Amino acid sequence: MQNDKIIAFVMAGGQGSRLQPLTTGRSKPSVPFGARYRMVDFVLSNLVNSQIQTIYLLVQYKSQSLIEHVRKAWTISPLLQSQFVTVVPPQMMSGEHWFQGTADAVNQNINLIEEHRPGLVAVFGADHIYRMDVRQMVEFHRQHRSDVTIAALPVPLQEASSFGVIAAEEDGRIHAFEEKPAHPTPLPSDPDHAFASMGNYIFSTDVLIKALKETQEAGETDFGQHVLPRLLRTHRLFAYDFSTNRIPGIQPYETQVYWRDVGTIDAYFDAHHDVLGAEPAFDVFNPEWPIYSSGYQGPVARVLGGQIENSLLGAATMIHTGTLIKNSIIRREAVIEDDVILEDCIIMDYVRIGRGARLRRVIVDRHNHIEPGEKIGFDHEKDAQRFHVSAGGVTVIPQGQLSYFARDARGSGRGGYSE
């Protein structure tokens, strides 16, 4: 009899060094995205929407912000013991060390697999923006009698050298892994594209447990570098073509299969433009496949005047008169004072932008007060003396300090309804 139970491990311990300074005080999966989400919300929503609701979130670096978010936003059902999202820090069961790699992270929690005795184990990353019906990948895994299935995205051949490439047969059977190859192996059916690994795996449980024990004995720690190449010699490994995944409720104007690696400031900034517009490439509003996040209890945004074009406003934000806001995202409990101009900006929670300020292509992290009359984003050399300026010319103002503010709860950094 087939064991249909699936549990998931979500790898949420990433440092996100290329996203500095947004990851100075938080892990990459807890970085805010859009007007109300965090990166981790996307993988968790995909799993929950796919009826995979036994989820262990493996955390490590600068995890407190992520822990607090999950505690307040991801309580599924206290009554059903098999439905939960729970945070698991390094348990150090096999030695006094943190997670040394993806395989080591799961191996340190192998007792959880043995406790639940699932038929399949999903191991997914936590730092990409996408929608995915994981059930379709599971069905592919079962139909092909696969031992391990790896989600793969077709990418143009000239871009494939930036990824871990999977060389596969027509039916998806994997015969080689290529790490950022100079000459990637193209798809058998499409010589202009190659399979890039998305770092999302489905394992048959018995195969995973045996592989983890062998890897531990060999002193190896990583799925991509160690476990999968070893299994390739003895087991059936398949690539699941993510471009075939279909989500209900996707609008005709959207990118039908959307996946973004937001690992750099410029990629993160550009991805925000995908959620803007009357016909966004990634329309977050989809009642048939919702992206869940915190149950924030504050009021709606308040607009007192000004001109707002192609922008998103978070809850409890206040926009004063004389403002011009274009192509921007303002998260919750922000205050935009009179006569402010914001163009192509991301303004995070609990930020106050002072009267007469001018910002262009600027990310302002939480708990900041931009002084009246400031001009940021117009002179990169000048900005670089005070802030971080990306290769693409995006100025990033790091997270402020709570103690800096003593003005009022709205936009002060205290966050009256904060998570």
The DSSP symbol for 101 reads S
Q: At residue 96, does pLDDT exceed 60?
A: no
Average pLDDT, rounded, for the chain: 91
pLDDT tens string 119-154: 999 999 998 999 999 999 999 999 999 999 999 999
pLDDT tens string 236-257: 999 999 999 999 999 999 999 9
Of the candidates 213, 207, 160, 214, which has an alpha carbon nearest to the alpha carbon of residue 187? Answer: 160
pLDDT at 406: 35
pLDDT tens string 147-201: 999 999 999 999 999 899 999 999 999 999 999 999 999 999 999 999 999 999 9
For the chain, list the domains and their CATH numbers: 6-252 (3.90.550.10), 302-404 (2.160.10.10)
Residue 320 to residue 327: CA distance in whole angstroms: 18
pLDDT at 321: 96
Q: Which pair of tokens denotes residue 247?
A: 């989500």
Give residue 43's region: left, alpha or beta (phi > 0; psi -120 to 50).
alpha
- The model's pTM is 0.93
Q: Where is pLDDT greater, at 344 or 109?
A: 344
Angle between helical axes of 64-73 and 40-49 (0-180°, round to 10): 40
Beta bridge partners of 347: 330, 364
Of the candidates 12, 10, 13, 4, which has an alpha carbon nearest to the alpha carbon of residue 48? Answer: 10
CA distances from 111 to 57, 123, 207, 222 (A): 15, 15, 15, 18
Listed in sequence order, the residues at least 6 apart from 193 whose beta carbon sits closer than 8 Å to its beta carbon are: 154, 155, 156, 157, 160, 186, 187
Q: At residue 16, does pLDDT exceed 60?
A: yes
pLDDT tens string 375-415: 999 999 999 999 999 999 999 999 985 433 334 445 444 45
CA 339 to chain centre: 34
Give the rounded percent of residues in the chain with a pLDDT score beyond 70.
93
Residue 56 to residue 111: CA distance in whole angstroms: 12
